[in-house]
Amino acid sequence: MGGDAPASLRVRGAFFFVGSMKITGGSIFLAAAAFVAFASAPARQVTDQTGRRVNIPENPQRLISLAPSITEIVYALGLGDRLVGDTDYCDYPPEAKRKPHVGAMLNPSLEKIVALKPDLVLGTVEANRRATVDQLERLGLPLYGLTARNLDETLHSIEDVSSVLGRAEVSQKLVASLRARIDAVEKRVSGQKRPKVLFVVWDRPLITAGPQTFIADVIARAGGASISQDLRGDWPRLGLEEVLRREPDVILLPRTESFSSSLEDFRKLPGWRDLRAVREGRLYFVSETIMRPCPRLVDALEEVAAILHPVEKTGARGPA
């Protein structure tokens, strides 16, 4: 079995190139054509965010995104037309839904990926499995791995994707404006009393976001204090009793299909209705982009900040 077929193809390509170079005179054009043909062959070695050394083309043109956050980043950079495939869950922008899908994040179809002839696959530590990375490596498909656990790392991912795609300059404006918006929120909420926040990832059983997640970072920067800051793991379970003891001032839920029931239903649940935040009506849906380390994470930050620290209409603090 040829686990090394792609490598042998590369070698053949190189021979073809050298061979064309030897021929002089009228074949210079041929050599040039060969050069153009191999311009997208592996041209540089980079270290991805997970520390893997990976050979990627100078200017990748056929991308497969293995996570909705990556798809959003690629589109936000204006490079959406380079995507040849994404996952079943890539739903933003709407155009992303029309790209060929390679399956779900945890078990994408390898053969579908191969058939789309990508010159670069983009994945994340948070969404994808190590086994997928190993399999793509075995098949000789370059995979650039990203990881983002907070807003700063999300901005870094955006810069990284744009430089990996050979268009480092396109991220500058985007990142600068996102950073300005983050700064504005932080400035507005600084010095204010921090309400205690419970973020509900899942309700039965109650699962919340751990301290090392971008959700926790968004809450902190929006001027809140997550009640799960001392818990272990990224998605810890939390007993309702413990929630009662920790007395959150505000409860946030992502607006996802899993929570199709209205806030009213939550208010009626036993245990929940005893929570002060529920009695006081401080139970809010926030955009599900809070679950995605992409440019829209900043939208979620502004949304959470507006919930935790409402802007008074006549206030002198200025717009968020």
Partner 1 sequence: MIIAPTRRNVLLLLCALGAALALVGLGALSLGAVRLSWSEVGAALLGTSGNKETAMIVREIRLPRILLAVLVGAALSVAGTGLQALLRNPLADPYVLGISSGAALGAIVALYIGGRAGAASPAIAFLGAVATMTWVYLLGRRAGRLASYTLILAGVVTASFLSAIILFVLTLLSSRDVRGTAFWLMGDLSAVSDAQLRYLFPAVMLGIAGLYWFAKDLNVLLLGEEEAAHLGVNVPRVETAVYLLTSLLTGLAVSVSGAIGYLGLLVPHLGRMLVGNDHRTLLPTAALGGALVLVLSDTLARTVVAPAELPVGAVTALAGAPVFIYLLRRTTG
Strands (E) across 147-259 are located at 196-199, 225-226, 250-254
Dist CA 119 CA 244 (whole Å): 52
Q: Tell the smallest beta-carbon distance from residue 37 to partner 1 (Å).
A: 14
Contact 185/305 with Cβ under 8 angstroms? yes
1 vs 36, beta carbon nearer partner 1 = 1
Among 58, 81, 88, 280, binds partner 1 (CB under 8 A): 88
138 vs 273, beta carbon nearer partner 1 = 138
Dist CA 7 CA 1 (whole Å): 13
Residue 2 binds partner 1 (CB under 8 A)? yes
125 vs 240, beta carbon nearer partner 1 = 125
Q: Tell the smallest beta-carbon distance from residue 98 to partner 1 (Å).
A: 15
Q: Tell the smallest beta-carbon distance from residue 134 to partner 1 (Å).
A: 7
Q: Tell the smallest beta-carbon distance from residue 119 to partner 1 (Å).
A: 12
Strands 143-146, 225-226: pairing kind:
unpaired
Residue 104 binds partner 1 (CB under 8 A)? yes
Strands (E) across the chain are located at 42-47, 53-57, 63-65, 83-85, 120-124, 143-146, 196-199, 225-226, 250-254, 283-286
Q: Would you give the binding string for partner 1 spanning residues 6-45, x where CB under 8 A is met?
A: x--x------------------------------------
Residue 102 binds partner 1 (CB under 8 A)? yes
Locus of tokens 């933003």: 92
Q: What is the CA radius of gyration of the chain?
A: 24
Q: Which residues bind partner 1 (CB under 8 A)?
A: 1-3, 5-6, 9, 88, 101-104, 106-112, 114-115, 117, 125-126, 129-131, 134-135, 138-139, 233-235
